[in-house]
Amino acid sequence: MTTDFEILETIRMFQEQHLDVRTITMGISLMDCSSSNAEETARKIYDKICKRASKLVETGNDISREYKVPIINKRISVTPISIVAASSGVKDYTIFAKALDRAAKTCGVNFIGGFSALVHKGFTDSDRYLMESIPESLAATDFVCSSLNLATTRTGINMDAVRDMGRIIKKTAELTADKDAIGCAKLVVFANAPEDNPFMAGAFLGPGEPECVINVGISGPGVIKSALETVRGQDLGVVAETIKKAAFKITRVGELVAREASSRLDTPFGIIDLSLAPTPVVGDSIARILEEFGLEDCGAWGTTAALAMLNDAVKKGGTMASSFVGGLSGAFIPVSEDEGMIAAAASGKLSLEKLEAMTCVCSVGLDMVAIPGDTPAEIISGIIADEMAIGTFNGKTTAVRIIPVPGKTVGDMVEFGGLLGSAPIMRVNTSSCAEFIHRGGRIPAPIHSMRN
């Protein structure tokens, strides 16, 4: 029997500590939408998504009301378009991006991910067409998100793709320069991308996934921080236990919502993504959790250790709470989407190099990082190369979502608005890596990937 204290504690978590289900993402396979005609493929894409996801938003709203659990986003992820469009006979894939965008608008979701390609071992022709279509597609659509997997621990790093993506990111920035390069906020490159990630911009439904699936992303930085405030001064073992217990409760919320959504939409339940995802709202910050550990600013020495512990404790508490855990499942450190990160980066206490160190122990990577618009494409590729190496050689997922803002430089702020927040332009080491990047080729897989 639940006690009164527990009921009030639960209500406080939602009302004061910003506990919410961050997203219900419906994954829809578009494998059967291929055809030899682009218009027909685009139409099939639109029709299938609208048919499968017609009740997604309404169901999310119903569950939210009946359980009094805020469900912030309803989203859709699809099979990487480079696979779906491969036989369609065109080279410009903007038509498919537009079909995704229209479908997203019809269904009422706020993002649709999967304008993607998996190029970790090399490119198909279709992969190349998709990549070259990215800048135009992200400029021409509102809700489409694009992602690429450039590396895996088993295959190594596709350095040709790393070289190309520096250039493509810059072009995406240029084509959306009037909106502070917002196109780049919808574009992620990965090492070891998960096939079932429910979060944007990196969500896509991998080839190993079923016909249709419900994946849920929860969130609760505010709950964790409030829990830690009750154990100030106590040793780190107590801190770890406190985080684990809070993570358990947070994850159970997600599990319940996922099972309800799955049942009402008659769609199999996939996974819960345990990630702690911040928002720019005060009280919903990962950086402030790290400061609650006892650091003056996020970015101080000790930040990497604190984040490693936080990430690990969240996973331990969350895994007990759910039958199927997947996606990214760790702490997110998106600079623009975290009030504490924004403050630390703007005051110079948090550097890009420190963020890179933090990506070794958390789940995302260099995320929503704004850099000067005149940063050369090769340096962007170098940043990507380093993140890919961290992921590939350590057997974890890493990613880069970087935004070179045309016309802005260190000291300027960029406003993206809404959940995308705002970001200070961060300083980038300008030493050239152009010769390294232009070599191209593949960095071979690390020896520890040979596990047979």
Partner 1 sequence: MKLMDQHKAVITVVGNDSIGIIAKVSSVLADNHVNINDITQTILEDIFTMIMVVDLEKSDTDIKTLDEKLEKLGEDMGLSIRIQHAGLFNAMHRI
Q: How far is the CB of 70 from partner 1 (least distance, A)?
A: 12
Using the rule CB under 8 A, is 431 a contact of partner 1? no
Which stretch in 139-147, 250-258, 278-286, 351-359 sits in contact with partner 1 by CB under 8 A?
250-258
Nearer to partner 1, 4 or 266 (CB): 4
CA distance linking residue 447 with residue 444, whole number of Å: 9
Which stretch in 148-156, 192-200, 253-261, 444-452 sits in contact with partner 1 by CB under 8 A?
253-261
Angle (CA) 217-219-222 rounded to 5° is: 175
Using the rule CB under 8 A, is 342 a contact of partner 1? no
> Of these, 20, 209, 255, 367, which contacts partner 1 (CB under 8 A)?
255
3-state SS string for 86-146: CCCCCCCCHHHHHHHHHHHHHHCCCCEEEEEEECCCCCCHHHHHHHHHHHHHHHHCCCEEE
Q: How far is the CB of 16 from partner 1 (least distance, A)?
A: 13
- Site size for partner 1, by CB under 8 A? 21
Closest by Cα among 386, 375, 391, 381 to 429? 375
Which stretch in 88-96, 252-260, 284-292, 300-308 sits in contact with partner 1 by CB under 8 A?
252-260
Nearer to partner 1, 71 or 205 (CB): 71
CA distance linking residue 230 with residue 242, whole number of Å: 9
Q: How far is the CB of 256 from partner 1 (least distance, A)?
A: 5
Which stretch in 63-71, 146-154, 351-359, 431-439 sits in contact with partner 1 by CB under 8 A?
63-71
Structure tokens at 375: 């940063």
Using the rule CB under 8 A, is 449 a contact of partner 1? no
> Of these, 62, 92, 132, 174, which contacts partner 1 (CB under 8 A)?
62
CA distance linking residue 388 with residue 271, whole number of Å: 25
- In the chain, the amino acid numbered 346 is A
3-class SS of residue 388: helix
Q: How far is the CB of 62 from partner 1 (least distance, A)?
A: 7
Q: How far is the CB of 205 from partner 1 (least distance, A)?
A: 25
Using the rule CB under 8 A, is 256 a contact of partner 1? yes
Q: How far is the CB of 12 from partner 1 (least distance, A)?
A: 11
CA distance linking residue 293 with residue 289, whole number of Å: 7
Which stretch in 5-13, 73-81, 117-125, 392-400 sits in contact with partner 1 by CB under 8 A?
5-13
Nearer to partner 1, 156 or 254 (CB): 254
Using the rule CB under 8 A, is 244 a contact of partner 1? no
CA distance linking residue 115 with residue 130, whole number of Å: 8
Nearer to partner 1, 249 or 354 (CB): 249
From the DSSP assignment, how many helices (H) and strands (E) are in the chain?
15, 13
CA distances for 385 relative to 219, 357, 400, 424, angstroms: 29, 14, 10, 23
Closest by Cα among 114, 182, 181 to 148? 114
Using the rule CB under 8 A, is 31 a contact of partner 1? no
What is the per-residue DSSP string for 297-337? STTSTTHHHHHHHHHHHHHHHHHHH-S-B-SS-SB--BSTT
> Of these, 87, 106, 323, 409, which contacts partner 1 (CB under 8 A)?
323
Interface positions, 70-109, toward partner 1 (CB under 8 A) = none
Q: How far is the CB of 274 from partner 1 (least distance, A)?
A: 15
Using the rule CB under 8 A, is 7 a contact of partner 1? yes
CA distance linking residue 295 with residue 306, whole number of Å: 9
Interface positions, 257-316, toward partner 1 (CB under 8 A) = 259
CA distance linking residue 1 with residue 37, whole number of Å: 60
CA distance linking residue 202 with residue 148, whole number of Å: 8
Nearer to partner 1, 324 or 436 (CB): 324
* CA-based torsion, 82, 84, 87, 91: positive or negative: negative
Nearer to partner 1, 12 or 448 (CB): 12
115 forms beta bridges with: 146
- In the chain, the amino acid numbered 74 is K
> Of these, 90, 240, 281, 320, which contacts partner 1 (CB under 8 A)?
320
> Of these, 35, 54, 67, 300, which contacts partner 1 (CB under 8 A)?
67
Using the rule CB under 8 A, is 353 a contact of partner 1? no
Sites of contact with partner 1 (CB under 8 A): 2, 4, 6-8, 10-11, 62, 65-69, 249, 252-253, 255-256, 259, 320, 323
